[in-house]
Amino acid sequence: MKVTSIAIAVATLLTTGLAGAQTLDELAEIVRRAASTEGQINEEREAQFLSDRNDQNRLLTDAKAELRREEKRSDDLKSEYDRLERNLAELTTVLQERMGNLGELFGIVRQSSGDIQAALNDSMVSAELPDRGTFLSELAQRKALPNVQELSTVWSRMVTEIAESGKIVKFNTTVERANGAKESMDVVRVGVFNAVSDGRFLDWDSSKSSENLIELARQPAARFQSMAQDLQGASGGEVVAMAVDFTRGQILRAVVQSKTPIERVKEDGGPVGYVIISVGILGLLLCFWKAFVLYTTGGRMSNQLKSETANKGNPLGRVMSVYSDNTETDIETLELKLDEAILRESAPLETGLSFIKVLYVVAPLLGLLGTVVGMIATFQMITLFGTGDPRMMAGGISTALVTTVLGLVVAIPLTLLHAFLLGKSKALIQVLEEQAAGIIARLAEHKG
């Protein structure tokens, strides 16, 4: 910047001098001064260039020295990195060796936590002790190793579940009634097997978002409900009978969902089933009527046996009256008249028995008809839907079986009743024949 300023000053002086020179001597003087000044400027410029060159050499030397230091530092860092890398590999190997058992333990803890959580959520004890599976759910999804306190908590939850499974506890909780309403009720829990309230059995369904005890829409038989009421009303130390579902509700759900005999007849019997039932009712009514008639007649005949006077109000009296009305008749004619009277009295005693026989023969045939109808329905379902879903065929098979059972249920008692009534009628007819034979024998002896 200094050399440039001098050059500018010389140029200005020269220009001004030339413009103000009046003579050649003045002009020469001005040029001489300008040349002298320019030489000075060149010397100063050269000195400046030399100074700048020295500065550049110094900077270059410093830069090369810095480069050498950085290269050395880079080599040192690389050596340090390699050393640390080797140390890290060695430490990783040692860590894996030392964590071998802990890693296996961690996997077992996670799996066990998930299994225990599922078991606790499905347990009826959760109705009394809710939110027991939250900690286990978190532990099953955690990626870090559990500490001793957390392992103790898992062990405590397991021991608590085992202890509660052997207790009969009464507590108050929310119960979802069969109509969907929720009420706070006193509940008696029998271990992890059953829960009852107000004499009705409850079910625990962990899939419900509310996680409440649910009153079964269909209850088991009345005797089991009576057991539930006795259990709920029992005082401390009292021993009462109670049905326990050791499958934790599976058998109870299956029992209440199964059809009762009346429901099976209504839903699966069909028209053939109703016909068989009608035949059975008709046959029973006819058997009862015939039994009443035979026993009434037998009673009157027993009274007649105790009397020598013929009473025409009973079959035996009417047979005896044939002898009293024909005392002068010969033996052969009287015997014929007695045989005629016995035949006449035998018909009312045997009336209806043949019809009962028809009914007990027809009943199993109707059952067979229902079997055929059910199998036809089954094959129709197979034709339409194939055999992939057995439930589609269950209706026809159930109809076949129910009607077969109904036919046998009607035929077997009717057969037994018919045999009994037939024996009773034959016994009464035999009494008539014996008395008639006795009359002929006494008459023959008297005339002989």
What pTM did the predictor assign? 0.55
Please give the backbone phi and psi of residue 213, each rounded to the nearest 5 degrees, phi first.
-70, 135
pLDDT higher at 311 or 103 = 311
Which band of pLDDT confidence, cut at 50, 70 and 90, is reported for residue 415?
very high
Tokens of 330: 């010969």
DSSP secondary structure of 183-224: EEEEEEEETTTEEEETTEEEEE-TTSSS--EEE-SS---HHH
Give the pLDDT of residue 278. 92
Phi/psi-derived region of residue 307, left when phi > 0, alpha when psi is between -120 and 50, beta in every other case:
beta
200-204 vs 168-176, strand pairing mode: unpaired
CA dist., res. 259 & res. 133, Å (int): 37
Residue 88 scores a pLDDT above 80: yes
Residue 155, C-beta contacts closer than 8 angstroms, at least 6 positions apart? none
With the CA atoms of 124, 130, 135 and 137 taken in that order, what torsion angle do they form, in degrees rounded to the nearest 10? Answer: 50
Rounded to the nearest angstrom, the gap between the alpha carbon of residue 441 and the centroid of all alpha carbons in its chain is 82
Query: 3 falls in which pLDDT band (50, 70, 90)?
Result: very low
Q: Which helix (H) or strand (E) holds 71?
A: helix 24-98
Six-digit token pair at 433? 């024949």
Beta-strand pair 168-176/213-215: parallel
Between residues 86 and 447, the one the model is more confident about: 86
> Tokens representing 35?
């040349």
Chain center to CA of 122: 11
pLDDT of residue 264: 73
Cα(397)–Cα(405) distance, integer angstroms: 12
Looking at per-residue pLDDT, the higher value among 395 and 6 belongs to: 395
> What's at 186, amino acid-wise?
D
Six-digit token pair at 270?
A: 């069909």
Answer whether 164's CB lies under 8 Å from 125's CB. yes
pLDDT at 280 over 90: yes
Per-residue confidence (pLDDT) for residue 129, from 0 to 100: 82
How does pLDDT run across 360-373, given as a tens digit for each residue?
A: 999 999 999 988 88
Q: What is the pLDDT of residue 221?
A: 75
- The string of pLDDT tens digits covering residues 209-249 is 455 788 887 777 778 888 888 888 887 677 888 877 777 77
**Mean pLDDT over all residues of the chain?**
80
Q: Six-digit token pair at 133?
A: 């599976």
Strands 194-197 and 213-215 turn out to be unpaired
What value does the mean pLDDT take over residues 24-52?
77
- Token pair in block for residue 188: 């008696």
For range 101-107, the mean pLDDT: 68
**pLDDT number for residue 211:** 57
Is the sign of the CA dihedral 20, 26, 28, 30 positive or negative? Answer: negative
Q: Quick one: tokens of 96?
A: 């894996």
The pLDDT assigned to 208 comes to: 55
What's the pLDDT score for residue 2? 45
Q: What is the pLDDT of residues 298-356, one digit of tens each?
A: 888 888 888 777 778 888 888 888 877 776 777 788 788 888 888 888 888 888 899 99
Summarised one tens digit per residue, pLDDT across range 56-80 is 888 888 888 888 888 888 988 998 9
Residue 258: band (very low, low, confident or very high) from pLDDT cuts 50, 70, 90: low
Whether 6 shows a pLDDT value over 50: the answer reads no
Going from N- to C-terminal start, the domains of the chain cover: 2-92, 102-165, 169-256, 262-447
Can you give the pLDDT at residue 282?
94
pLDDT tops 80 at residue 171: yes
411: its two tokens: 């035929």
Task: Lowest mean pLDDT of 12-21, 125-134, 169-178, 346-355, name the range.
Answer: 12-21
Of residues 415 and 19, more confidence is placed in: 415
More confident call, 274 vs 44: 274
